[in-house]
Amino acid sequence: MTNTWIGQPLPRVDGRAKVTGAARYAAEFNQPGQVHAVIVSSTVGLGRIESIDTEAVSHLPGVLAIISHLNAPRLAYREHRGFIDPVIGERLHVLQDDRVHFFGQPVAVVVAETLDQAERAASGVRISYDAQTPAVEMDAGAANAITPDGPSLDTSRGDPELALAAAPARLDVTYEIERQNHNPMEPHGTIAVWTDDRLTLWSKSQFVVNEAAEIEAVFGLPAGSVQVISPFLGGAFGSSLRTWPHVTLAALAARVVGRPVKLVLTRRQMFYTTGYRPHEIQRIALGAQSDGRLQALIHEGIGETSRYEQFVESLTTVSSYLYSCPNVRTRYRLAPLDESTPTYMRAPGEASGVFALECAIDELAVELGLDPIELRLRNEPTIDEGGRIPFSSRSLRECYARGAARFGWDRRDPRPGSMTDGRLLIGWGMASATYPAARAAASARARLVADGTAHVETAASDMGPGTYTSMTQVAAEALGLAPDEVHFELGRSDFPTCPPHGGSWTMASVGSAVHAACVAVRELADSIEARQGMSSLNGATRRDVYRELVTRRGGLPIEAEASSAPGPERQQYSMHAFGAVFVEVAVDPELGTIRVRRALGAYAAGRIVNPRLARSQCTGGMVGGIGMALMERTVLDSRDGRVVNASLADYLVPVNLDIETLEVEVVEEDDPYVNPLGVKGIGEIALVGMAPAIANAVYHATGRRVRRLPIRIESLLAA
């Protein structure tokens, strides 16, 4: 009888390794003869390098090389675009010319025997610039916004302008979200080792196969020349999806000095060269009948990007399908600025777009005198009206009902400022959440070995959601083994190819491939068993059977590799996870401080492989949403683009003392179309609805509608 491991709340299989320090991260794979590299960053935001003076530091003890555009080897920078990279533009060619595109750009790298020696020498490199004033202000960028190149991202149905003008109830407002930076615990780092013309990189990466291919393209190497190893990531949130300049610099330095090189970014450097969630300005216009049924929806957004690449994200896409509306227009534009390129940050596009849409829906509910849930229910669609196809599953009504019941929503007094706790103003807010249930092609390999256990390999990553554990459960169930009889490995670019570890599609993509590979190797084992007439093993455990089979093969493992990819169902159904978020805030009316006292998220995300991991992912996303709503803000000096709060002392993120009660309600959902496992990603949807729910709760507490994130003390105390 097959054990049922999927759906069990098993503890993390890698938990002991992490708490005992046995788990090794990128910068911990120290090599014999290793030296250290430190980046010298530009101190101007735009211009050209006039001179580089290294005389005072080049002869310091331990200094091996100071590399800049003046002496760096010329790199091939062949065309390469993994599908995580911007389609339009060209990535930064590091140390290949004298141009400075943004403040903090790497302009030199110092290599020395020790980290202290490298840091000391890097601080003494003197660079003079022909500096220009960069354009870094979003207001100026928005005034000169451009249409992204390539296929249009704009959509339209009906006549939204006419419908808006004719609607009895209208709303036309602007929302803004300031730039946010990823701040994972583990800084970005790479150790590079050359062996003849082959390169090994121990590097923090959410996409190891792409990183190998990118570095091969940069250095003009044949395919298969670069091996990337990344077994553990200490958080990333999207910042390690792309291959950033520091990886190239580590490999370049290692080639120049002929020794293994370790390069780890400082926290400050991470604010400049590893992407960020872009500053975005959005307009939402709603027109509705007096009963609340939407007649017009216009969603326009502008996001910042660098001048050398066009970063686009799905800022406005949710507005085409979340609510039923006959007249809809979405438009997306870019504001090119003298900055580094943004990148994907947890729930990219959807988190920002849903903030604007869900706050606007709440404003409309107030204007119409309707309960926010009731307004949403009156506009629930029966199909995806943007794509004109059915949903594979949509359990948003159940999320509203289950979440409201558990939160106690029926006790809410709708009048702003009416609920108090002593001198504190209490506000209750809610919002919808959604995120695509995406899937990509992936491959995996399963191997039955001499002791009857299974080894499963795939080039996936694990930045914290529990990939090791959930994949072990999938493999164990398919093979009929116990989880401790499965050894799952990931994080090597020579393992079977996988998509990036982001976008909430790892389980849907990689999990489907792991399942396929394990089914294939079990069928192969069953075939061998049948051919050899092993009836004497009837009733034995699967491990006993596998052990005997491998023994009879002289210890030769039984191995199978399989791939899994989406099919025509992606064009036949609209696939998304859905949720409803409820929040209680307490606002001090004299100090303007805001505290999230409790939050509850009800989520429908298909089949749940491990409820313990799923709840952990949801609460983590909710914490991120609190940061987005109330704390996170990257501040630039308008004179040069310097980030003035590039540290964890000044860039605020939620800590334990900021978090009170977070609850997760899982809504059971069966989706036979989404993928072979019936799963949907849950890592990002939990962040999506938090910021608007908090903003709506702040309005309910204070009567003050704040349309710019983060909501700060001055937002509430301003006259």
CA distance 571 to 575: 10
Q: DSSP letters of 601-649?
A: EEEE-BS-S-HHHHHHHHHHHHHHHHHHHHT----B-TTT--BTT-STT
**Are 419 and 413 a contacting pair, CB within 8 Å?**
yes
DSSP E strands in 461-604: the ranges are 486-489, 558-564, 576-587, 594-604
Nearest alpha carbon to residue 557 among 411, 447, 396, 653: 447
Q: How far is CA 22 from CA 480, 482, 634, in A?
A: 29, 23, 34
CA distance 597 to 404: 16
Q: In angstroms, what is the C-alpha Rg of the chain?
A: 27
Which residues are CB-neighbours of 523 under 8 A, at least 6 positions away?
Answer: none
The active-site residue, picked from 186, 668, 684, 714, is 684
Q: How far is CA 422 from CA 160, 589, 594, in A?
A: 46, 11, 15
Which residues are CB-neighbours of 22 under 8 A, at least 6 positions away?
Answer: 16
Nearest alpha carbon to residue 296 among 383, 352, 351, 360: 360
**Are 89 and 342 a contacting pair, CB within 8 Å?**
no
* Segment holding 337, helix H or strand E: strand 328-337
* Segment holding 296, helix H or strand E: strand 294-306
CA distance 438 to 502: 10
DSSP E strands in 387-460: the ranges are 419-421, 424-436, 442-448, 454-457
Nearest alpha carbon to residue 43 among 121, 140, 134: 134
* Segment holding 156, helix H or strand E: strand 155-157
Is residue 559 part of the annotated active site? The answer reads: no
**Are 446 and 518 a contacting pair, CB within 8 Å?**
yes
Cα angle: 648, vertex 652, 655; to 5 degrees? 90
User: Do β-strands 442-448 and 328-337 pair in parallel, antiparallel, or remain unpaired?
Assistant: unpaired
Query: Please, which residues bridge with residue 282 across strands?
Result: 175, 301
Q: Which residues are known to be catalytic?
A: 684
